[in-house]
Structure 1
């Protein structure tokens, strides 16, 4: 079983991005799961990921708007590859977010 989690930090304020909606889609583009980040800015999806390219979509526009903040990115989509490889049973995709930029990386 291959799983996925994410951690989103509001880099502009230096705090976790709590309450941010995140969707997970499979290689065919069909939704696998939806969640909202917890108080620590984290989500762990229980979906079993098949090999292929998956996508996390972060609803950043709505999240910034709810806080009364302007943003350039109405959403952030991060595609990542899942290999048919038993040595990589979990993928952690981190997002550092600010109103006008973002950075992502594979965490542990």
Structure 2
């Protein structure tokens, strides 16, 4: 079986995004279901895969990163309301046998992602 993982890179400071709260949601016709809440470690990663084994299923998912709270905790001055606050990455898992790595590269003004493995 594959696994789902993520990490956060703070490009403002050029370091891992440690202490970022993340929610993983399953999205379907009934709405969103929270599957897991985690906080990134000192390396900007989660201590364990977000999904693996029987929990790794095909479907639509969202990762919601509390980026605005992270930057506020770092002492970064941003306007109110924040330009980048909660970052939602919506993605699909087509083949649960593969690894899906969905990182967040973020600043108070922009963000991006890609599919890693």
Could you tell me the TM-score, scaled by structure 2's length?
Answer: 0.82
Question: Of residues 95, 101, 108 in structure 1, which corresponds to 2:110?
Answer: 101
User: 1:65 deviation in Å?
Assistant: 1.2
Q: What is the aligned-residue RMSD (CA, Å)?
A: 1.6
User: 1:85 deviation in Å?
Assistant: 5.1
The count of residues paired between Structure 1 and Structure 2 equals 106
2:3 touches 2:96 (CA, 8 Å); kept in 1?
no
Q: Counterparts of 2:67 and 2:13 in 1: how far apart (Å)?
A: 15
User: 1:2 deviation in Å?
Assistant: 4.2
User: 1:60 deviation in Å?
Assistant: 0.9
Task: Look at both structures and tell me which one has the larger radius of gyration over its CA atoms.
Answer: 2
Q: Unmatched 5+ residue regions in structure 2?
A: none
Distance 1:9 1:3, change over 3 A: same
Q: Counterparts of 2:72 and 2:95 in 1: how far apart (Å)?
A: 39
Q: Counterparts of 2:51 and 2:96 in 1: how far apart (Å)?
A: 18
Tell me the residue number matched to 1:33. 36
Question: Of residues 12, 22, 45 in structure 1, which corresponds to 2:50?
Answer: 45
Segments ≥4 residues shifted beyond 4 Å: none
2:57 touches 2:96 (CA, 8 Å); kept in 1?
no
Q: Counterparts of 2:44 and 2:70 in 1: how far apart (Å)?
A: 12
User: 1:30 deviation in Å?
Assistant: 0.2
Could you tell me the TM-score, scaled by structure 1's length?
Answer: 0.88
Higher strand proportion (structure 1 or 2) = 1
